[in-house]
Amino acid sequence: MSTTSVTRRRSLVHHRNFRQLWVGDALGQFGAQLTGLALPVFAVTHLDATAWQMGVLNAAETAAFLVIGLPAGAWVDRMRKRRTLIVADLVRAAVLTVVVVAALTGHASMPLLYVAGLLISAGTVFFDVAHQSYVPGLVGLDRIVEGNSKLQATHSVAMVAAPAVGGALLRVISAPALIAVTVVTYLLSAAAVGRIDKPETLPRREDRRPLRTEIAEGLQFVVRQPLLRRIVACTSIGNLFNAVASALTVIFALRVLGLDEAGLGLVFSASAIGGLVGAVSADRAARWVGEGRIIVLSALAMGPAFTLSPLALPLADLGVPPEVPLVAGGALFSFAVVVYNVAQVSFRQRLCPPALLGRMNASVRFIVWGTVPLGGLLGGLLGTQLGIVPTLWVAAAGTALAALPVLLSPLRTMRDLAVPDHIVPDQTAPTAQTS
């Protein structure tokens, strides 16, 4: 009995199969973040992309979250998770290999990047949902919180570290070479996951319920939880306007401000410092300020951080190097995003029954990431009609307004998010949801 207790208290770091999943997930998430940096830079510097083309590319890179994001959770629940992860990695590696070969042979084009973005986004959707749904069967329900926490921490670190590493690499290598680096990360991820040796048992076909029923359970759980609904609204609106700006950020930096690839790399790598600080201080900040209030405060901080990007142009006329406001704004924004994500994802994990985690995560991703391709198209359209800088101001205003759903909610005065009974209405937790 004592041996069992000690074993259960050991960290999942000592669990061989989880460790392989963790390494594979880290490499896959890192590759996804690098891809999101490398493709836009390649489009602007090598293909002379317009504002509208950058908007379409941004939309293509996230379109799968809108098109297949909702049923992906139910589909993945019917698949072998290990095989799904490996196939997703290999598909993304193969697509990017085609892009690299096309770049080296002079055959790259924007339509090719659109198709690549669509295929990569599909692979990313299946990878993200599968790795979160894989944990219960791999480590057991008694370790699911620890497993999900480690995977979420890895995702947060990848969001911060990948732009830093990619930015540093862009100072010494070209965008096509950086794309080739992402191919390697995906292949290494597939190799790590392939070393998992625990057999998987698929649910019996006769036990499956209609796909629509399973999807509805995850979506209903999200929309019926009062605080979760507020958080999802804040995140989806913020992602919409972040995508508006993201579609034009590289054009703004390279063409409007006159930075070169090395300067852009410096901005990305220096901005990531804020995210690193956020990653190591998120738990302490939540304990100091309060779990509920930190969500509100971090959401409020994103608006002012965004304004420093368009302010870089008038400040440059006053003699301030454009890198200064870009780095300051990027560091503050990445700090706020990481703190916000750690707080709200931890709350979601405590709130959701383990059997619904996959579908809950897929539903949340469908809502909050489904606005990203729409934002990319909107950014390209506004950038063409209004101009780059006015569109960035629109994005900054929208990001500030995104905080309203959580600001005008009980989260503003809540210190602890212990999920008491009064915030979980009875109708949101029927027996069918935990089956």
Q: What is the CATH number of the domain that holds 416?
A: 1.20.1250.20
Is residue 181 within 8 A of residue 169, CB to CB? The reply is: yes
What are the tokens at 154? 């890895």
The residues near 172 (Cβ < 8 Å, ≥ 6 apart) are: none
Residue 47's Cβ-count burial label (10 Å; 0-12, 13-18, 19+) is middle
Max avg pLDDT among 2-16, 113-127, 353-367: 113-127
Does residue 159 have a pLDDT over 90? no
Angle between helices 16-47 and 110-139 (to 10 degrees): 170
Using pLDDT thresholds of 50, 70 and 90, give the confidence band for residue 180: very high
Q: What is the pLDDT of residues 64-79, one digit of tens each?
A: 888 887 787 777 777 7
Using pLDDT thresholds of 50, 70 and 90, give the confidence band for residue 9: low
pLDDT, averaged across the chain: 83
328 within some domain: yes
Q: What is the pLDDT of residues 81-105, one digit of tens each?
A: 889 999 999 999 999 999 999 999 9
Question: According to the model, what pLDDT value does residue 273 have?
Answer: 81
Measured in Å, how far apart are the chain's first and last C-alpha atoms? 30
Does residue 62 have a pLDDT over 90? no
Is residue 410 within 8 A of residue 227, CB to CB? The reply is: yes
Distances (CA, A) of 411 to 114, 227, 414, 417: 40, 7, 5, 9
Long-range pairs of 412-418 with CB within 8 A, sequence gap ≥ 24: 412/292, 412/293, 412/296, 413/292, 413/293, 414/290, 414/291, 414/292, 414/293, 415/290, 415/291, 415/292, 415/293, 416/290, 416/291, 416/292, 417/227, 417/291, 417/292, 417/347, 417/350
Residue 136's nearest CA partner among 200, 85, 72 is: 200
Residue 253's nearest CA partner among 176, 313, 334 is: 313
Cα distance between residue 35 and residue 275, in whole Å: 19
Does residue 427 have a pLDDT over 80? no
**Interval 170-178 mean pLDDT:** 86
The total number of structural domains in the chain stands at 1
Cα distance between residue 65 and residue 88, in whole Å: 15
Does residue 329 have a pLDDT over 50? yes
Distances (CA, A) of 314 to 271, 311, 389, 400: 20, 6, 11, 21
Q: Which of 296-310, 360-374, 407-421 has the lowest mean pLDDT?
A: 407-421
More confident residue, 275 or 40: 40
Cα distance between residue 182 and residue 164, in whole Å: 14
42 within some domain: yes
Does residue 257 have a pLDDT over 70? yes
**Interval 165-178 mean pLDDT:** 84
Question: According to the model, what pLDDT value does residue 5 have?
Answer: 45
Max avg pLDDT among 164-173, 198-207, 383-392, 407-416: 383-392
75 within some domain: yes
What are the tokens at 337? 């995003």
What are the tokens at 335? 């700090």
88 within some domain: yes
3-state helix, strand, coil in the chain (%, to 5): 85, 0, 15
434 within some domain: no
178 within some domain: yes
Residue 364's nearest CA partner among 380, 387, 341, 336 is: 341
Question: According to the model, what pLDDT value does residue 224 have?
Answer: 84
Is residue 194 within 8 A of residue 17, CB to CB? The reply is: no
Is residue 200 within 8 A of residue 79, CB to CB? The reply is: no
The SS3 call for residue 309 is helix
Question: According to the model, what pLDDT value does residue 103 have?
Answer: 93
Enumerate the H helices of 106-143 as residue ranges. Answer: 110-139
Cα distance between residue 399 and residue 386, in whole Å: 18
More confident residue, 415 or 399: 399
Question: According to the model, what pLDDT value does residue 356 have?
Answer: 72
What are the tokens at 163? 């732009």
Is residue 88 within 8 A of residue 124, CB to CB? The reply is: yes
Question: According to the model, what pLDDT value does residue 173 have?
Answer: 85
397 within some domain: yes
Q: What is the pLDDT of residues 192-238, one digit of tens each?
A: 999 998 877 666 666 666 767 777 878 888 888 888 889 999 999 99
Report which secondary-structure segment, H or E, holds 102: helix 81-105
Does residue 401 have a pLDDT over 90? yes
Q: Which residue segment(s) compose the domain that 177 sits in? A: 16-196+210-429
435 within some domain: no
Enumerate the H helices of 386-423 as residue ranges. Answer: 388-401, 404-407
Q: What is the pLDDT of residues 10-38, one digit of tens each?
A: 778 888 888 998 999 899 888 888 888 88
